[in-house]
């Protein structure tokens, strides 16, 4: 009886570890399908100009590693796939913004050995409906996870930056649609 209980406990632990390990949780096609209902929404790019570079340095704590960032859009909804380093390796986040508020955030790929707990809804649900404040920060704080502090910070920075990018993209599109 004791041996069976020990075996069941071992099996449960192995399943729990396997379910939580680092890896690719969602492909881009799956993320876009979830976000827009189809895999091929129109895409566009935001070029990182001086204004965005300065804002990114404030929000992310470093300049973006790329000169342009691709996004997908449909009406008032935009989707962003952003890489942000947790401890040493980049974590890939998918952030969907609608009417200047986050609709949902997904951890698409996690490459480090610790901190993968941020992929679960109990954490990612905190980002829903967050907006940018006048000072450019998130409208609510994010609860930390013990042992995943750097991953939580990376997620928070990415969500904040996605809102900044959405705001910039909407302003750029509006200016292009209504030139003076």
Q: Which residues bind other proteins (CB under 8 A)?
A: 27-29, 43, 45, 65-70, 83, 85, 88-90, 111
CB of 64 to other proteins, least distance (A): 9
Q: How are strands ordered across the β-sheet holding 43-47?
A: 23-24, 101-110, 90-98, 77-85, 68-74, 43-47
If the CB atoms of residues 11 and 45 are measured against other proteins, the closer one turns out to be 45
Distances (CA, A) of 123 to 47, 61, 65, 119, 148: 31, 22, 26, 7, 11
If the CB atoms of residues 88 and 134 are measured against other proteins, the closer one turns out to be 88
CB of 32 to other proteins, least distance (A): 10
Angle at 131 between CA 154 and CA 77, to 5 degrees: 95
Name residues whose C-beta falls within 8 Å of residue 117's C-beta, 6 or more positions apart in sequence: 20, 123, 145, 147, 148, 151
Q: Identify each DSSP E strand in 54-100 by its residue range.
A: 68-74, 77-85, 90-98
**Residue written as token pair 């804002």:** 55
CB of 55 to other proteins, least distance (A): 19
- For the record, the structure tokens of 11 come out as 């099996």
Cβ contact 94:35 at 8 Å: yes
If the CB atoms of residues 16 and 29 are measured against other proteins, the closer one turns out to be 29
If the CB atoms of residues 31 and 123 are measured against other proteins, the closer one turns out to be 31
CB of 68 to other proteins, least distance (A): 5
If the CB atoms of residues 51 and 88 are measured against other proteins, the closer one turns out to be 88
CB of 84 to other proteins, least distance (A): 11
């Amino acid at each position: 009886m004791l041996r069976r209980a020990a075996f069941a406990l071992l099996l449960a632990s192995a399943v729990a570890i396997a379910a939580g390990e680092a890896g690719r949780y969602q492909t881009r096609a799956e993320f876009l399908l979830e976000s827009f209902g189809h895999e091929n929404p129109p895409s566009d790019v935001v070029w990182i100009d001086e204004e965005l570079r300065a804002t990114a340095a404030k929000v992310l704590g470093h300049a973006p590693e790329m000169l342009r960032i691709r996004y997908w859009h449909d009406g008032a909804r935009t989707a962003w796939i952003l890489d942000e380093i947790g401890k040493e390796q980049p974590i890939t986040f998918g952030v969907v913004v609608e009417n200047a508020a986050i609709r949902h955030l997904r951890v698409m790929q996690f490459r480090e050995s610790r901190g993968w707990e941020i992929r679960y809804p109990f954490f990612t649900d905190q980002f829903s409906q967050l907006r940018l404040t006048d000072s450019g920060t998130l409208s609510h704080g994010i609860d930390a996870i013990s042992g995943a502090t750097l991953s939580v910070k990376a997620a928070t920075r990415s969500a904040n930056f996605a809102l900044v990018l959405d705001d910039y993209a909407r302003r750029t599109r509006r200016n292009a649609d209504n030139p003076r």
